[in-house]
Homo-oligomer: A and B are copies of this chain.
Amino acid sequence: MSRTLSFYENPPPDRWKELCLRPVMNHQALEEIVREVFRQVKNNGDEALVRFTQEFDGVGLNSLSLHEEEILQAGSHLQADLKASIDAAYHNIFTFHQTQIEKSSITETSEGVFCWRESRAIERVGLYIPGGSAPLFSTVLMLAIPAQIAGCEEVILCTPPLKDGTVHPGILYAASLCSVKKIFKVGGAQAIAAMAIGTNSIPSVYKLFGPGNQYVTAAKLHAMGIGVGIDLPAGPSEVLVFADDTGIPDFVAADLLSQAEHGEDSQVLLVTTDKHLAGKVENSLARQLENLPRKNIAAAALKHSKVVFFENVDSAFSFINQYAPEHFIISSDHANNYIKKIRNAGSVFLGHYTPESAGDYASGTNHTLPTGGYARTYSGVSLDSFIKKITFQEISPGGLHTLGPHVVNMARAEHLEAHARAVEVRLKGMIS
């Protein structure tokens, strides 16, 4: 058998860093292009957007915006079974994200000192939905559902138009389920610039969400530099499958391929404690790859993919945690036994009947996840991404009587006399 994937056997920890490397974007070159796009959108507003859409998408538009009617009627242009599936996905994603609402409760940290947090929606958010080869209505659900639950006042959606100047009804239908009312036909870095700066048609927002190509990613980073929030620094999508000797090779191979078909830069890893299984997965890969429509893309992605064999399961998980995969599938009869070993991952798929594609579309979890090792530090998109938590405190006169002298001591030790006096002026007032 000829190996499709590079094979590594018990690599020592000092080689892990190299095995965990991801592709690096040339930020600087992109930054210059993106800065010019922002400049033009700032100076020429909608006119620049229409011009860019003609230039890059080959579509001439009279108006960037859609009528609310078009959004509401999209469902009638959609196949019944696809509509039912989007409805089912909406239900699951809504249900899971609704559990993320946090109830506020007041804590009396010491007598008369009350502290709590309250969540508030980010008032204005912008969702970017890429166009290109596929209508990503699933991403509409993943971003607009938590925005809907959070109660964001203004939700803007930008997506590049199809060649005929329309937007795919799947995108519009998903948006209508989530009560998105403002959709604009503009894509690329110019869409990000428009939502960051604002134009006559497109309102500016406080935070930007959504995937996209390297120009979109660079534009989001540029937007961050001018004070607009972003969801996550995005890179090529990734899956890491861990399989022990109970892993099912055909399922593992199918999961690896579902990641590999995303793009040639997709990151695909298999980590296993069963050397025998690795060979079976490779055979299955070759077989399943054969009649895949996006065979060429998947094959290219597999070329730089890796199989890493570890004798020792704890070494395997140390390596996996250092890699910090976006998607992490555990192919085992005993998947739950491994949960405690997981430190860094975006989303985890447990057992034989939980393919990544279930989470990509419909299980309920979010598919906007940290790539490139960012799972060491960042969570994926959730309700939390659409809210802020404001802290509150209220101190009773008695509470300040007890707490105040401590504040005074510390403020003086930090040479902040006015901080001390802001307490003392109140304590004096109590006595008189």
Contacts and interface: CB of A to CB of B under 8 A. Distances in A.
Interface of A: 27, 81-82, 84-86, 88-89, 91-93, 95-96, 99-100, 102, 105, 107, 109-110, 113, 115, 117-118, 120, 122-123, 133-138, 170, 206-207, 225, 227-229, 248, 250-251, 254-255, 257-258, 260-262, 288, 292-294, 298, 321, 335-336, 339, 342-366, 370, 372-380, 382, 384, 388-397, 399-400, 403-407, 409-411, 413-423, 425-426, 429
Contacts of A262: 416
Nearest to A112: B353
A88 B407 CA distance: 10
Contact of A257 (B136, B354, B418): B418
Contacts of A414: 134-138
Q: Which of A93, A95, A384, A409 lies at the interface centre, i.e. has the most chain B CB atoms within 10 A of its CB?
A: A409
24 contacts: A27-B225, A88-B406, A91-B110, A96-B109, A109-B364, A120-B343, A137-B414, A138-B410, A206-B376, A250-B425, A257-B418, A261-B419, A288-B421, A294-B417, A335-B394, A344-B388, A347-B390, A347-B391, A357-B422, A358-B404, A360-B407, A360-B411, A375-B388, A380-B391
Nearest to A366: B391
Given A107-B99, A206-B376, A395-B353, A410 B361 contact: yes
A339 B377 CA distance: 32
A404 B353 CA distance: 10
